Structure 1
Protein backbone atom coordinates (compact mmCIF):
# COMPACT_ATOMS: atom_id res chain seq x y z
CA UNK A 1 0.00 0.00 0.00
CA UNK A 2 1.40 3.40 -1.05
CA UNK A 3 1.97 5.83 1.82
CA UNK A 4 1.01 9.43 1.05
CA UNK A 5 3.17 11.93 2.99
CA UNK A 6 1.44 14.35 5.42
CA UNK A 7 -1.73 12.26 5.34
CA UNK A 8 -3.77 12.15 8.55
CA UNK A 9 -5.64 9.04 7.35
CA UNK A 10 -4.32 5.45 7.15
CA UNK A 11 -3.14 4.37 3.66
CA UNK A 12 -5.97 1.84 3.23
CA UNK A 13 -8.62 4.46 4.03
CA UNK A 14 -7.04 6.96 1.61
CA UNK A 15 -6.94 4.27 -1.10
CA UNK A 16 -10.59 3.37 -0.58
CA UNK A 17 -11.81 6.98 -0.53
CA UNK A 18 -9.74 7.88 -3.60
CA UNK A 19 -12.21 5.88 -5.74
CA UNK A 20 -14.59 8.84 -5.41
CA UNK A 21 -12.13 11.20 -7.15
CA UNK A 22 -10.52 8.87 -9.70
CA UNK A 23 -11.95 11.01 -12.51
CA UNK A 24 -10.10 14.05 -11.18
CA UNK A 25 -6.98 11.92 -10.78
CA UNK A 26 -7.13 10.92 -14.45
CA UNK A 27 -7.49 14.56 -15.53
CA UNK A 28 -4.50 15.61 -13.40
CA UNK A 29 -2.45 12.65 -14.69
CA UNK A 30 -2.83 13.94 -18.26
CA UNK A 31 -1.14 17.17 -17.18
CA UNK A 32 1.72 15.27 -15.50
CA UNK A 33 2.89 12.78 -18.16
CA UNK A 34 6.21 12.02 -16.43
CA UNK A 35 4.67 11.17 -13.05
CA UNK A 36 4.16 7.49 -13.94
CA UNK A 37 7.85 7.14 -14.83
CA UNK A 38 8.83 8.80 -11.55
CA UNK A 39 6.53 6.43 -9.64
CA UNK A 40 8.08 3.43 -11.39
CA UNK A 41 11.60 4.66 -10.69
CA UNK A 42 10.70 5.25 -7.04
CA UNK A 43 9.45 1.63 -6.94
CA UNK A 44 5.97 2.84 -5.94
CA UNK A 45 3.62 0.25 -7.39
CA UNK A 46 0.69 2.51 -8.23
CA UNK A 47 -0.73 4.17 -11.33
CA UNK A 48 -0.31 7.94 -11.70
CA UNK A 49 -4.09 8.59 -11.74
CA UNK A 50 -4.57 6.55 -8.55
CA UNK A 51 -1.66 8.29 -6.82
CA UNK A 52 -3.02 11.74 -7.69
CA UNK A 53 -6.50 10.74 -6.54
CA UNK A 54 -4.99 9.61 -3.22
CA UNK A 55 -3.12 12.94 -2.94
CA UNK A 56 -6.37 14.85 -3.53
CA UNK A 57 -8.16 12.72 -0.91
CA UNK A 58 -5.40 13.11 1.69
CA UNK A 59 -5.15 16.87 1.08
CA UNK A 60 -8.93 17.33 1.29
CA UNK A 61 -9.15 15.69 4.71
CA UNK A 62 -6.07 17.59 5.88
CA UNK A 63 -7.77 20.84 4.82
CA UNK A 64 -10.95 19.90 6.68
CA UNK A 65 -8.93 19.15 9.81
CA UNK A 66 -6.66 22.23 9.69
CA UNK A 67 -9.47 24.53 8.53
CA UNK A 68 -11.76 23.30 11.30
CA UNK A 69 -9.06 23.69 13.96
CA UNK A 70 -8.09 27.15 12.66
CA UNK A 71 -11.70 28.35 12.55
CA UNK A 72 -12.31 26.97 16.06
CA UNK A 73 -9.28 28.64 17.65
CA UNK A 74 -9.88 31.98 15.92
CA UNK A 75 -13.66 32.05 16.40
CA UNK A 76 -13.38 34.13 19.58
CA UNK A 77 -11.44 36.79 17.68
CA UNK A 78 -14.01 36.55 14.86
CA UNK A 79 -11.26 35.57 12.42
CA UNK A 80 -12.50 32.10 11.47
CA UNK A 81 -12.18 32.91 7.75
CA UNK A 82 -8.53 33.81 8.24
CA UNK A 83 -7.89 30.37 9.76
CA UNK A 84 -9.57 28.68 6.80
CA UNK A 85 -7.51 30.74 4.31
CA UNK A 86 -4.25 29.87 6.08
CA UNK A 87 -5.27 26.18 6.10
CA UNK A 88 -5.97 26.36 2.34
CA UNK A 89 -2.52 27.86 1.66
CA UNK A 90 -0.80 25.22 3.81
CA UNK A 91 -2.72 22.36 2.17
CA UNK A 92 -1.95 23.69 -1.33
CA UNK A 93 1.75 23.62 -0.44
CA UNK A 94 1.39 20.12 1.04
CA UNK A 95 -0.38 18.90 -2.12
CA UNK A 96 2.55 20.10 -4.24
CA UNK A 97 4.93 18.25 -1.91
CA UNK A 98 2.84 15.08 -2.22
CA UNK A 99 2.84 15.28 -6.03
CA UNK A 100 6.63 15.76 -6.06
CA UNK A 101 7.26 13.06 -3.44
CA UNK A 102 7.98 10.30 -6.04
CA UNK A 103 10.85 12.42 -7.36
CA UNK A 104 12.29 12.70 -3.83
CA UNK A 105 11.86 8.95 -3.24
CA UNK A 106 13.51 8.30 -6.60
CA UNK A 107 16.57 10.39 -5.64
CA UNK A 108 16.93 8.35 -2.43
CA UNK A 109 16.81 5.15 -4.50
CA UNK A 110 19.48 6.54 -6.82
CA UNK A 111 21.92 6.91 -3.93
CA UNK A 112 21.13 3.41 -2.66
CA UNK A 113 21.59 1.93 -6.15
CA UNK A 114 24.86 3.78 -6.74
CA UNK A 115 26.19 2.57 -3.39
CA UNK A 116 26.39 -1.10 -4.43
CA UNK A 117 26.53 -0.80 -8.22
CA UNK A 118 30.29 -1.02 -8.65
CA UNK A 119 30.63 -3.92 -6.18
CA UNK A 120 27.80 -5.86 -7.84
CA UNK A 121 29.28 -5.41 -11.34
CA UNK A 122 32.63 -6.66 -10.07
CA UNK A 123 30.83 -9.68 -8.61
CA UNK A 124 29.18 -10.30 -12.02
CA UNK A 125 32.62 -10.03 -13.64
CA UNK A 126 34.06 -12.62 -11.24
CA UNK A 127 31.22 -15.02 -12.07
CA UNK A 128 31.71 -14.56 -15.82
CA UNK A 129 35.46 -15.08 -15.56
CA UNK A 130 34.69 -18.32 -13.70
CA UNK A 131 32.72 -19.59 -16.70
CA UNK A 132 29.24 -18.89 -15.30
CA UNK A 133 26.66 -17.79 -17.95
CA UNK A 134 25.38 -14.20 -17.76
CA UNK A 135 21.88 -15.19 -16.63
CA UNK A 136 23.25 -17.39 -13.84
CA UNK A 137 25.46 -14.48 -12.77
CA UNK A 138 22.32 -12.33 -12.53
CA UNK A 139 20.66 -15.02 -10.39
CA UNK A 140 23.66 -15.16 -8.05
CA UNK A 141 23.76 -11.36 -7.64
CA UNK A 142 20.01 -11.26 -6.98
CA UNK A 143 20.49 -13.63 -4.03
CA UNK A 144 23.41 -11.71 -2.52
CA UNK A 145 23.30 -8.67 -0.24
CA UNK A 146 23.73 -5.77 -2.66
CA UNK A 147 20.74 -3.78 -1.40
CA UNK A 148 18.62 -2.14 -4.09
CA UNK A 149 20.85 -3.58 -6.83
CA UNK A 150 19.95 -7.13 -5.77
CA UNK A 151 16.27 -6.12 -5.79
CA UNK A 152 16.62 -4.87 -9.38
CA UNK A 153 18.32 -8.08 -10.46
CA UNK A 154 15.55 -10.10 -8.80
CA UNK A 155 13.03 -8.30 -11.02
CA UNK A 156 15.24 -8.99 -14.04
CA UNK A 157 15.52 -12.70 -13.24
CA UNK A 158 11.77 -12.92 -12.61
CA UNK A 159 11.00 -11.41 -16.03
CA UNK A 160 13.44 -13.68 -17.85
CA UNK A 161 12.03 -16.75 -16.08
CA UNK A 162 8.56 -15.60 -17.16
CA UNK A 163 9.64 -15.88 -20.80
CA UNK A 164 10.71 -12.30 -21.56
CA UNK A 165 13.82 -12.23 -23.82
CA UNK A 166 16.97 -11.25 -21.96
CA UNK A 167 17.58 -8.10 -24.04
CA UNK A 168 13.95 -6.95 -23.66
CA UNK A 169 14.10 -7.54 -19.90
CA UNK A 170 17.30 -5.47 -19.65
CA UNK A 171 15.72 -2.70 -21.72
CA UNK A 172 12.60 -2.58 -19.54
CA UNK A 173 14.74 -2.50 -16.39
CA UNK A 174 16.87 0.33 -17.80
CA UNK A 175 13.80 2.44 -18.62
CA UNK A 176 12.42 2.18 -15.08
CA UNK A 177 15.73 2.50 -13.22
CA UNK A 178 16.37 5.95 -11.67
CA UNK A 179 20.18 5.68 -11.51
CA UNK A 180 21.94 7.09 -14.61
CA UNK A 181 25.00 4.92 -13.89
CA UNK A 182 22.90 1.76 -13.59
CA UNK A 183 21.04 2.64 -16.79
CA UNK A 184 24.32 3.21 -18.60
CA UNK A 185 25.60 -0.20 -17.47
CA UNK A 186 22.38 -1.93 -18.58
CA UNK A 187 22.38 -0.18 -21.98
CA UNK A 188 26.00 -1.21 -22.60
CA UNK A 189 25.17 -4.81 -21.68
CA UNK A 190 22.19 -4.70 -24.06
CA UNK A 191 24.24 -3.31 -26.92
CA UNK A 192 26.93 -5.91 -26.30
CA UNK A 193 24.38 -8.74 -26.41
CA UNK A 194 22.77 -7.34 -29.58
CA UNK A 195 26.11 -7.07 -31.37
CA UNK A 196 27.35 -10.43 -30.12
CA UNK A 197 30.35 -8.92 -28.33
CA UNK A 198 32.21 -10.58 -25.46
CA UNK A 199 30.07 -9.64 -22.47
CA UNK A 200 33.13 -9.91 -20.18
CA UNK A 201 34.82 -7.07 -22.07
CA UNK A 202 31.64 -4.99 -22.06
CA UNK A 203 31.17 -5.24 -18.28
CA UNK A 204 34.89 -4.67 -17.72
CA UNK A 205 34.68 -1.40 -19.70
CA UNK A 206 31.65 -0.38 -17.61
CA UNK A 207 33.60 -1.05 -14.40
CA UNK A 208 36.59 0.95 -15.68
CA UNK A 209 34.37 3.91 -16.61
CA UNK A 210 32.55 3.85 -13.26
CA UNK A 211 35.87 3.66 -11.40
CA UNK A 212 37.10 6.74 -13.30
CA UNK A 213 33.85 8.53 -12.51
CA UNK A 214 34.26 7.59 -8.84
CA UNK A 215 37.78 9.08 -8.78
CA UNK A 216 36.50 12.29 -10.42
CA UNK A 217 33.71 12.55 -7.83
CA UNK A 218 36.20 12.05 -4.97
CA UNK A 219 38.52 14.76 -6.34
CA UNK A 220 35.60 17.15 -6.80
CA UNK A 221 34.36 16.37 -3.28
CA UNK A 222 37.83 16.98 -1.85
CA UNK A 223 38.07 20.37 -3.55
CA UNK A 224 34.72 21.36 -2.01
CA UNK A 225 35.68 20.42 1.55
CA UNK A 226 38.15 23.30 2.10
CA UNK A 227 35.60 26.14 1.64
CA UNK A 228 33.04 24.09 3.59
CA UNK A 229 35.53 23.71 6.47
CA UNK A 230 36.11 27.48 6.50
CA UNK A 231 32.35 28.09 6.40
CA UNK A 232 31.92 25.68 9.34
CA UNK A 233 34.68 27.34 11.39
CA UNK A 234 33.10 30.75 10.86
CA UNK A 235 29.52 29.71 11.60
CA UNK A 236 29.99 27.10 14.33
CA UNK A 237 33.15 28.22 16.15
CA UNK A 238 34.31 31.81 15.54
CA UNK A 239 31.00 33.71 15.39
CA UNK A 240 29.43 31.91 18.42
CA UNK A 241 32.62 32.50 20.44
CA UNK A 242 32.58 36.19 19.53
CA UNK A 243 28.87 36.36 20.35
CA UNK A 244 29.38 34.83 23.81
CA UNK A 245 32.31 37.18 24.49
CA UNK A 246 30.25 40.21 23.44
CA UNK A 247 27.34 39.13 25.64
CA UNK A 248 29.64 38.71 28.65
CA UNK A 249 31.24 42.12 28.08
CA UNK A 250 27.90 43.89 27.53
CA UNK A 251 26.31 42.20 30.58
CA UNK A 252 29.25 43.35 32.75
CA UNK A 253 28.95 46.96 31.55
CA UNK A 254 25.16 47.24 31.38
CA UNK A 255 22.78 45.81 33.92
CA UNK A 256 20.71 43.26 32.01
CA UNK A 257 17.74 41.25 33.15
CA UNK A 258 18.85 37.75 34.16
CA UNK A 259 16.00 36.09 32.27
CA UNK A 260 16.85 38.06 29.10
CA UNK A 261 20.52 37.10 29.37
CA UNK A 262 19.65 33.41 29.77
CA UNK A 263 17.32 33.68 26.80
CA UNK A 264 20.09 35.17 24.64
CA UNK A 265 22.52 32.39 25.58
CA UNK A 266 19.91 29.69 24.93
CA UNK A 267 19.01 31.35 21.62
CA UNK A 268 22.67 31.35 20.60
CA UNK A 269 22.91 27.66 21.50
CA UNK A 270 19.83 26.88 19.37
CA UNK A 271 21.30 28.80 16.41
CA UNK A 272 24.59 26.87 16.70
CA UNK A 273 22.76 23.52 16.89
CA UNK A 274 20.66 24.44 13.84
CA UNK A 275 23.82 25.42 11.96
CA UNK A 276 25.47 22.10 12.89
CA UNK A 277 22.49 20.11 11.59
CA UNK A 278 22.31 22.19 8.41
CA UNK A 279 26.04 21.77 7.78
CA UNK A 280 25.94 17.99 8.32
CA UNK A 281 23.02 17.80 5.86
CA UNK A 282 24.96 19.78 3.24
CA UNK A 283 28.02 17.53 3.63
CA UNK A 284 25.84 14.43 3.26
CA UNK A 285 24.17 15.69 0.09
CA UNK A 286 27.51 16.68 -1.44
CA UNK A 287 29.03 13.25 -0.78
CA UNK A 288 29.76 11.41 -4.06
CA UNK A 289 26.87 9.11 -4.96
CA UNK A 290 29.17 6.27 -6.06
CA UNK A 291 30.67 6.19 -2.55
CA UNK A 292 27.26 5.54 -1.01
CA UNK A 293 26.15 6.62 2.45
Structure 2
Protein backbone atom coordinates (compact mmCIF):
# COMPACT_ATOMS: atom_id res chain seq x y z
CA UNK A 1 0.00 0.00 0.00
CA UNK A 2 1.28 3.45 -0.95
CA UNK A 3 1.30 5.73 2.13
CA UNK A 4 -0.55 9.09 2.14
CA UNK A 5 -2.54 8.13 -0.96
CA UNK A 6 -6.00 9.68 -1.27
CA UNK A 7 -6.99 7.17 -3.96
CA UNK A 8 -7.46 3.39 -3.76
CA UNK A 9 -4.38 1.55 -4.93
CA UNK A 10 -5.81 0.27 -8.28
CA UNK A 11 -7.00 3.76 -9.22
CA UNK A 12 -3.68 5.27 -8.10
CA UNK A 13 -1.63 2.85 -10.19
CA UNK A 14 -3.90 3.29 -13.19
CA UNK A 15 -3.66 7.08 -13.00
CA UNK A 16 0.10 6.89 -12.41
CA UNK A 17 0.96 5.10 -15.67
CA UNK A 18 1.69 8.47 -17.27
CA UNK A 19 4.46 9.03 -14.65
CA UNK A 20 6.09 5.63 -15.15
CA UNK A 21 9.21 7.09 -16.82
CA UNK A 22 9.69 9.59 -14.00
CA UNK A 23 9.21 6.82 -11.45
CA UNK A 24 11.94 4.75 -13.09
CA UNK A 25 14.38 7.68 -13.02
CA UNK A 26 13.57 8.43 -9.38
CA UNK A 27 14.04 4.75 -8.40
CA UNK A 28 17.62 4.90 -9.73
CA UNK A 29 18.36 7.53 -7.07
CA UNK A 30 17.39 5.09 -4.29
CA UNK A 31 19.70 2.06 -4.73
CA UNK A 32 18.52 0.36 -1.53
CA UNK A 33 14.82 0.64 -2.33
CA UNK A 34 14.63 -2.83 -3.90
CA UNK A 35 16.11 -4.46 -0.78
CA UNK A 36 13.87 -2.41 1.50
CA UNK A 37 10.77 -3.43 -0.45
CA UNK A 38 11.68 -7.11 -0.24
CA UNK A 39 12.51 -6.94 3.46
CA UNK A 40 9.32 -4.96 4.16
CA UNK A 41 7.34 -7.74 2.42
CA UNK A 42 5.92 -5.26 -0.09
CA UNK A 43 5.18 -6.71 -3.53
CA UNK A 44 6.29 -3.74 -5.63
CA UNK A 45 9.08 -3.26 -8.10
CA UNK A 46 11.15 -0.14 -7.27
CA UNK A 47 9.92 1.77 -10.33
CA UNK A 48 6.29 0.83 -9.56
CA UNK A 49 6.58 2.00 -5.97
CA UNK A 50 8.25 5.29 -6.97
CA UNK A 51 5.56 5.87 -9.59
CA UNK A 52 2.87 5.34 -6.94
CA UNK A 53 4.56 7.72 -4.49
CA UNK A 54 5.02 10.41 -7.16
CA UNK A 55 1.38 10.08 -8.25
CA UNK A 56 0.13 10.29 -4.65
CA UNK A 57 2.32 13.35 -4.08
CA UNK A 58 0.96 15.17 -7.14
CA UNK A 59 -2.64 14.39 -6.19
CA UNK A 60 -2.01 15.50 -2.59
CA UNK A 61 -0.56 18.79 -3.83
CA UNK A 62 -3.59 19.72 -5.93
CA UNK A 63 -6.14 18.52 -3.35
CA UNK A 64 -4.47 20.41 -0.48
CA UNK A 65 -4.03 23.54 -2.61
CA UNK A 66 -7.70 23.44 -3.61
CA UNK A 67 -8.86 22.99 -0.01
CA UNK A 68 -6.70 25.88 1.23
CA UNK A 69 -7.94 28.14 -1.57
CA UNK A 70 -11.52 27.22 -0.74
CA UNK A 71 -11.05 27.90 2.98
CA UNK A 72 -9.28 31.22 2.42
CA UNK A 73 -11.95 32.30 -0.08
CA UNK A 74 -14.70 31.54 2.44
CA UNK A 75 -12.85 33.63 5.04
CA UNK A 76 -12.36 36.44 2.54
CA UNK A 77 -8.56 36.17 2.59
CA UNK A 78 -7.86 34.43 -0.73
CA UNK A 79 -4.10 33.95 -1.09
CA UNK A 80 -2.98 31.65 -3.95
CA UNK A 81 0.70 32.06 -3.06
CA UNK A 82 0.11 30.89 0.51
CA UNK A 83 -1.96 27.93 -0.74
CA UNK A 84 0.75 26.91 -3.20
CA UNK A 85 3.52 27.21 -0.59
CA UNK A 86 1.67 25.18 2.04
CA UNK A 87 0.58 22.56 -0.50
CA UNK A 88 4.19 22.26 -1.71
CA UNK A 89 5.41 21.79 1.85
CA UNK A 90 2.84 19.04 2.48
CA UNK A 91 3.64 17.40 -0.86
CA UNK A 92 7.37 17.32 -0.08
CA UNK A 93 6.60 15.79 3.31
CA UNK A 94 4.31 13.23 1.64
CA UNK A 95 7.00 12.26 -0.89
CA UNK A 96 9.73 12.00 1.76
CA UNK A 97 7.61 9.86 4.06
CA UNK A 98 6.54 7.69 1.14
CA UNK A 99 10.14 6.97 0.12
CA UNK A 100 11.13 6.21 3.72
CA UNK A 101 8.10 3.98 4.32
CA UNK A 102 9.65 0.68 3.09
CA UNK A 103 12.72 1.09 5.33
CA UNK A 104 10.51 2.01 8.29
CA UNK A 105 8.26 -0.98 7.65
CA UNK A 106 11.32 -3.24 7.40
CA UNK A 107 12.52 -1.96 10.80
CA UNK A 108 9.09 -2.65 12.26
CA UNK A 109 9.31 -6.21 10.93
CA UNK A 110 12.73 -6.57 12.58
CA UNK A 111 11.19 -5.76 15.96
CA UNK A 112 8.22 -8.07 15.36
CA UNK A 113 10.56 -10.92 14.46
CA UNK A 114 13.16 -10.34 17.18
CA UNK A 115 10.47 -10.12 19.88
CA UNK A 116 9.33 -13.69 19.17
CA UNK A 117 12.57 -15.28 18.01
CA UNK A 118 13.81 -16.67 21.34
CA UNK A 119 10.57 -18.45 22.40
CA UNK A 120 10.06 -19.78 18.85
CA UNK A 121 13.56 -21.26 18.59
CA UNK A 122 13.26 -22.60 22.14
CA UNK A 123 10.11 -24.48 21.16
CA UNK A 124 11.83 -25.81 18.04
CA UNK A 125 14.76 -26.98 20.17
CA UNK A 126 12.40 -28.82 22.54
CA UNK A 127 10.64 -30.47 19.59
CA UNK A 128 13.86 -31.56 17.87
CA UNK A 129 15.42 -32.70 21.15
CA UNK A 130 12.42 -34.94 21.78
CA UNK A 131 12.91 -36.72 18.44
CA UNK A 132 10.78 -34.67 16.05
CA UNK A 133 12.29 -33.95 12.62
CA UNK A 134 13.56 -30.47 11.83
CA UNK A 135 10.79 -29.99 9.26
CA UNK A 136 8.10 -30.84 11.81
CA UNK A 137 9.83 -28.60 14.34
CA UNK A 138 9.73 -25.68 11.89
CA UNK A 139 6.10 -26.47 11.07
CA UNK A 140 5.18 -26.43 14.78
CA UNK A 141 6.22 -22.78 15.10
CA UNK A 142 4.34 -21.77 11.95
CA UNK A 143 1.74 -20.02 14.12
CA UNK A 144 1.68 -18.19 17.43
CA UNK A 145 5.00 -16.34 17.09
CA UNK A 146 4.19 -13.30 14.97
CA UNK A 147 6.67 -12.52 12.22
CA UNK A 148 8.77 -15.59 13.03
CA UNK A 149 5.78 -17.84 12.36
CA UNK A 150 5.17 -16.09 9.02
CA UNK A 151 8.74 -16.74 7.91
CA UNK A 152 8.84 -20.39 9.00
CA UNK A 153 5.41 -20.98 7.43
CA UNK A 154 6.89 -19.77 4.13
CA UNK A 155 9.94 -22.01 4.63
CA UNK A 156 7.86 -25.15 5.29
CA UNK A 157 5.56 -24.33 2.37
CA UNK A 158 8.61 -24.06 0.07
CA UNK A 159 9.91 -27.41 1.33
CA UNK A 160 6.51 -29.04 0.76
CA UNK A 161 6.54 -28.02 -2.92
CA UNK A 162 9.93 -29.69 -3.42
CA UNK A 163 12.56 -27.06 -2.61
CA UNK A 164 15.48 -28.53 -0.58
CA UNK A 165 15.60 -27.45 3.08
CA UNK A 166 18.90 -25.59 2.72
CA UNK A 167 17.66 -23.66 -0.32
CA UNK A 168 14.39 -22.73 1.43
CA UNK A 169 16.33 -21.53 4.47
CA UNK A 170 18.72 -19.49 2.32
CA UNK A 171 15.79 -17.87 0.49
CA UNK A 172 14.25 -16.88 3.84
CA UNK A 173 17.56 -15.40 4.94
CA UNK A 174 17.90 -13.27 1.79
CA UNK A 175 14.45 -11.67 2.16
CA UNK A 176 14.46 -11.09 5.91
CA UNK A 177 15.53 -7.76 7.49
CA UNK A 178 16.40 -9.20 10.93
CA UNK A 179 20.12 -9.93 11.39
CA UNK A 180 19.33 -12.28 14.27
CA UNK A 181 16.83 -14.25 12.20
CA UNK A 182 19.33 -14.49 9.35
CA UNK A 183 21.96 -15.78 11.76
CA UNK A 184 19.54 -18.42 13.10
CA UNK A 185 18.60 -19.57 9.60
CA UNK A 186 22.22 -19.58 8.42
CA UNK A 187 23.39 -21.70 11.37
CA UNK A 188 20.53 -24.19 10.88
CA UNK A 189 21.37 -24.39 7.17
CA UNK A 190 25.07 -24.79 7.93
CA UNK A 191 24.32 -27.61 10.39
CA UNK A 192 22.31 -29.41 7.73
CA UNK A 193 25.17 -29.10 5.22
CA UNK A 194 27.91 -30.36 7.56
CA UNK A 195 25.64 -32.93 9.23
CA UNK A 196 26.04 -31.71 12.82
CA UNK A 197 23.46 -32.16 15.58
CA UNK A 198 20.59 -29.72 14.95
CA UNK A 199 19.47 -29.86 18.59
CA UNK A 200 22.87 -28.67 19.85
CA UNK A 201 22.85 -25.86 17.27
CA UNK A 202 19.40 -24.71 18.39
CA UNK A 203 20.41 -24.83 22.05
CA UNK A 204 23.48 -22.68 21.37
CA UNK A 205 21.34 -20.22 19.43
CA UNK A 206 18.82 -19.90 22.28
CA UNK A 207 21.60 -19.44 24.87
CA UNK A 208 23.41 -16.81 22.75
CA UNK A 209 20.24 -14.86 21.98
CA UNK A 210 19.22 -14.93 25.65
CA UNK A 211 22.58 -13.44 26.62
CA UNK A 212 22.21 -10.78 23.94
CA UNK A 213 18.72 -9.96 25.23
CA UNK A 214 20.05 -9.54 28.77
CA UNK A 215 22.75 -7.19 27.43
CA UNK A 216 20.09 -5.19 25.57
CA UNK A 217 18.03 -4.83 28.76
CA UNK A 218 21.07 -3.59 30.73
CA UNK A 219 21.92 -1.14 27.94
CA UNK A 220 18.34 0.13 27.91
CA UNK A 221 18.45 0.64 31.69
CA UNK A 222 21.64 2.69 31.33
CA UNK A 223 20.09 4.81 28.56
CA UNK A 224 17.03 5.69 30.64
CA UNK A 225 18.91 8.19 32.85
CA UNK A 226 19.67 10.73 30.08
CA UNK A 227 16.17 10.19 28.67
CA UNK A 228 14.67 11.07 32.05
CA UNK A 229 16.82 14.21 32.26
CA UNK A 230 15.75 15.21 28.76
CA UNK A 231 12.09 14.71 29.68
CA UNK A 232 12.45 16.73 32.89
CA UNK A 233 14.09 19.58 30.99
CA UNK A 234 11.79 19.86 27.97
CA UNK A 235 8.46 18.68 29.43
CA UNK A 236 8.57 20.16 32.96
CA UNK A 237 11.28 22.75 33.60
CA UNK A 238 11.25 24.60 30.28
CA UNK A 239 7.44 24.94 29.92
CA UNK A 240 6.86 26.09 33.51
CA UNK A 241 9.89 28.27 34.26
CA UNK A 242 10.39 29.32 30.64
CA UNK A 243 6.86 30.66 30.19
CA UNK A 244 6.95 32.34 33.61
CA UNK A 245 10.29 34.01 32.83
CA UNK A 246 9.07 35.09 29.39
CA UNK A 247 5.93 36.59 30.95
CA UNK A 248 8.00 38.58 33.46
CA UNK A 249 10.51 39.79 30.86
CA UNK A 250 7.83 40.89 28.39
CA UNK A 251 5.95 42.72 31.14
CA UNK A 252 9.00 45.01 31.58
CA UNK A 253 8.83 46.16 27.96
CA UNK A 254 5.03 46.22 27.95
CA UNK A 255 4.63 43.57 25.24
CA UNK A 256 1.58 41.35 25.76
CA UNK A 257 1.78 37.64 25.05
CA UNK A 258 -0.54 36.72 22.16
CA UNK A 259 -3.53 34.67 23.27
CA UNK A 260 -2.81 32.06 20.62
CA UNK A 261 0.58 31.33 22.22
CA UNK A 262 -0.75 29.28 25.14
CA UNK A 263 -2.88 26.85 23.08
CA UNK A 264 0.08 26.40 20.71
CA UNK A 265 2.41 25.75 23.66
CA UNK A 266 -0.08 23.27 25.12
CA UNK A 267 -0.41 21.32 21.88
CA UNK A 268 3.36 21.46 21.37
CA UNK A 269 3.94 20.05 24.85
CA UNK A 270 1.39 17.28 24.24
CA UNK A 271 3.06 16.46 20.93
CA UNK A 272 6.49 16.30 22.56
CA UNK A 273 5.23 13.96 25.27
CA UNK A 274 3.63 11.64 22.71
CA UNK A 275 6.84 11.68 20.68
CA UNK A 276 8.94 11.02 23.76
CA UNK A 277 6.76 8.11 24.91
CA UNK A 278 6.90 6.57 21.44
CA UNK A 279 10.68 7.04 21.27
CA UNK A 280 11.31 5.42 24.65
CA UNK A 281 8.89 2.60 23.84
CA UNK A 282 10.68 1.91 20.54
CA UNK A 283 13.97 1.55 22.41
CA UNK A 284 12.56 -0.90 24.96
CA UNK A 285 13.77 -4.47 24.32
CA UNK A 286 11.35 -7.35 24.49
CA UNK A 287 11.39 -9.45 27.68
CA UNK A 288 9.44 -12.42 26.35
Give unmatched runs, 5+ long, in structure 2: none
Partner residue, 1:139: 139
**Pairwise CA distance, 1:279:** 2.4
**Pairwise CA distance, 1:233:** 3.3
- Number of matched pairs: 286
Aligned equivalents of 1:200 and 1:193: distance in 2? 11
**Gap change, CA 1:266 and 1:73, over 3 Å in 2:** closer
Give CA-to-partner distance per residue, 1:70-92, whole Å, 9 cap, x none. Answer: 55667887853553354334323
Matches for 1:1-12 after TM superposition, within 5 Å? 3-12=1-10
**Gap change, CA 1:292 and 1:88, over 3 Å in 2:** farther
**Pairwise CA distance, 1:270:** 4.0
1:279 aligns with 2:276: yes
Partner residue, 1:57: 55
Partner residue, 1:92: 92
Give the TM-score normalised by structure 1. Answer: 0.84
Partner residue, 2:64: 66
Give CA-to-partner distance per residue, 1:219-268, whole Å, 9 cap, x none. Answer: 11111112222333344444555468779999xxxx999xx698776566
Aligned equivalents of 2:237 and 2:23: distance in 1? 53
Give the TM-score normalised by structure 2. Answer: 0.85
Aligned equivalents of 1:4 and 1:108: distance in 2? 17
Task: Pick which of 127-136 and 192-201 moved more.
Answer: 192-201
1:194 aligns with 2:193: yes
Does the CA-based 8 Å contact 1:68-1:84 persist in structure 2?
no
**Pairwise CA distance, 1:153:** 0.9
**Pairwise CA distance, 1:190:** 1.3
1:182 aligns with 2:177: no
Task: Pick which of 131-140 and 3-12 moved more.
Answer: 3-12
**Pairwise CA distance, 1:211:** 1.0
**Gap change, CA 1:19 and 1:246, over 3 Å in 2:** closer
Partner residue, 2:208: 209
Give CA-to-partner distance per residue, 1:136-159, whole Å, 9 cap, x none. Answer: 1111110x3111111111111111
Aligned equivalents of 1:73 and 1:155: distance in 2? 51
Partner residue, 2:155: 156
Give CA-to-partner distance per residue, 1:174-221, whole Å, 9 cap, x none. Answer: 011011111111111111111111111111111111111111111111
**Pairwise CA distance, 1:24:** 3.1
**Pairwise CA distance, 1:21:** 2.8
Does the CA-based 8 Å contact 1:39-1:45 persist in structure 2?
yes
Task: Pick which of 109-118 and 21-30 moved more.
Answer: 21-30
Aligned equivalents of 2:13 and 2:80: distance in 1? 31
